[in-house]
Chain A
């Protein structure tokens, strides 16, 4: 569910170009470092996994303002390498459909790819200790927490949104952003001077509290659904949950 839903023109040029280059380099590394015969067999299966992700992504979850994306499940089922490549393909399709900016495909791939890789690693480490459904739930939960932190870090560090202040701004223009920061700092100083003890963090807290409530609901729901799906697969087709081999899985 961690997915930068930013339109084009919000993330600075250097960041999205860097995101594209990094995502493509990882994908090329993954596809070159694997045994082509084993991967060739998995390409059609990886493709249907990507199609399933596309379908589930297009279904909104009623009153909750997000959708599932199942990258973590893709990582668990397909392995870390193919999980990453699937994330790239899905993001590219979504961008072509106008769902999300074309410029953020690289960054989104890095975030969703990290989710797939982490879920696989945690699932592999814990699979012998708990039931598979429980293990998958924990893996997805942890992977989502990390990937959402990554998403916030990318959006914040790129300057797209001021995540440290109470009011966020879109830094489509850096100079403009600095002007705003200066203005904001002056206003803050004035308010502090006149109203000592006023809790400037109130707006921040409200914003973050609302954000965290939505995100926590999303994380819990996706973890629960993945656990139930893996539980079902463990009963019906346990071979699908066998550990993936190599980089690609």
Chain B
């Protein structure tokens, strides 16, 4: 997981994509995703992916560091694409491009928009308690990630992880997860007490920033609409 790097990029980025309205960026992502899902033309699909790559460059995002994250869905797509390639090579390639393209589009959204803004938009459709759960999960993730890194370091230093010692590794892994669970439950309790002191009553107030759309926002949505129209035309 590269959540911390993505979080840093989305909050500290200074490009016009970062400054654009959340609603416009989510609309643009939805339209691009639809184009990727609907498109059956390899060349056009490649063009859409290329435009997303250009967007990465324009947003000054490190494509090499983020782009490799789309290799996971591309890998899983390959498994299904291999079956499809029995039918034709093109349809197999289509599956891989769709997997990589949609992952890249999602990564572009979260690298240019902070999670809190995305959650505030999702809050329009999901229950309040679930929104709270999303926010708490996001916060806990970073804290627990630090703990896991420390735990792994100390276990390695004590020789707990061996390259070919499957049983020893399973025992160590169990220990890591069990200790992590203990820490996390205690942390959850503490977090609740702290939030209660600050007035938490089952509702973390976050609001979607409904600022009027500017020229950049309209341009982003128009561009994505244009891409989607291309799917039907070609």
Contacts and interface: CB of A to CB of B under 8 A. Distances in A.
Interface stretch (B54-62, B123-131, B205-213, B215-223): B123-131
| Size category, B interface | 35 or more
A102 B33 contact: yes
A169 B37 contact: no
Nearest to A24: B126
Interface centre among A32, A46, A96 (most CB of B within 10 A): A96
Contact of B80 (A45, A170, A224): A170
A7 B133 contact: no
A143 to B, nearest CB: 18
Interface in B89-137: 91, 94-95, 98-100, 102-104, 106-107, 109-110, 115, 118, 122, 125-127, 129-130, 132-137
Interface residues of A, number: 69
B129 A39 contact: yes
A240 B130 CA distance: 22
Contacts of B46: none
Interface in A1-21: 5-10
A46 B185 contact: no
B207 to A, nearest CB: 19
B195 interface: yes
A48 interface: yes
Contact of A7 (B77, B130, B135): B77
Contacts of A208: none
B180 interface: yes
Contacts of A97: 1-3, 6, 69, 106-107, 110
Interface centre among A10, A48, A99 (most CB of B within 10 A): A48
A232 B174 contact: yes
Given A45-B185, A97-B69, A229-B174, A50 B133 contact: yes
Interface string A54-65: 111010001000
B144 A233 contact: no
Interface on chain B toward A: helix, strand, loop, or mixed SS? helix
A7 B76 contact: yes
A215 B233 CA distance: 43
B104 A98 contact: yes
A182 to B, nearest CB: 13
B189 A45 contact: yes
Contacts of A70: 177
B16 interface: no
Contacts, number: 220
Contacts of A54: 1, 137, 141
A248 to B, nearest CB: 10
A52 B143 CA distance: 11
Given A40-B202, A44-B192, A229 B95 contact: no
B182 interface: yes
Interface stretch (A86-94, A120-128, A145-153, A191-199): A86-94
A119 to B, nearest CB: 15
A85 interface: yes
A77 B145 CA distance: 21
A237 B185 contact: yes
A129 interface: no
B136 A55 contact: no
14 contacts: A7-B99, A27-B130, A28-B127, A32-B127, A40-B202, A45-B184, A54-B1, A86-B133, A90-B137, A97-B69, A101-B102, A228-B174, A228-B178, A240-B185
Interface of B: 1-3, 6, 33, 36-38, 40, 69-70, 72-73, 76-77, 79-81, 83-84, 86-87, 91, 94-95, 98-100, 102-104, 106-107, 109-110, 115, 118, 122, 125-127, 129-130, 132-141, 143-145, 148, 169-171, 173-175, 177-178, 180-182, 184-185, 187-189, 191-192, 195, 200-202
Top 10 closest A-B pairs, CB basis? A7-B99, A47-B136, A98-B103, A45-B188, A48-B184, A40-B202, A51-B140, A8-B102, A168-B83, A9-B98
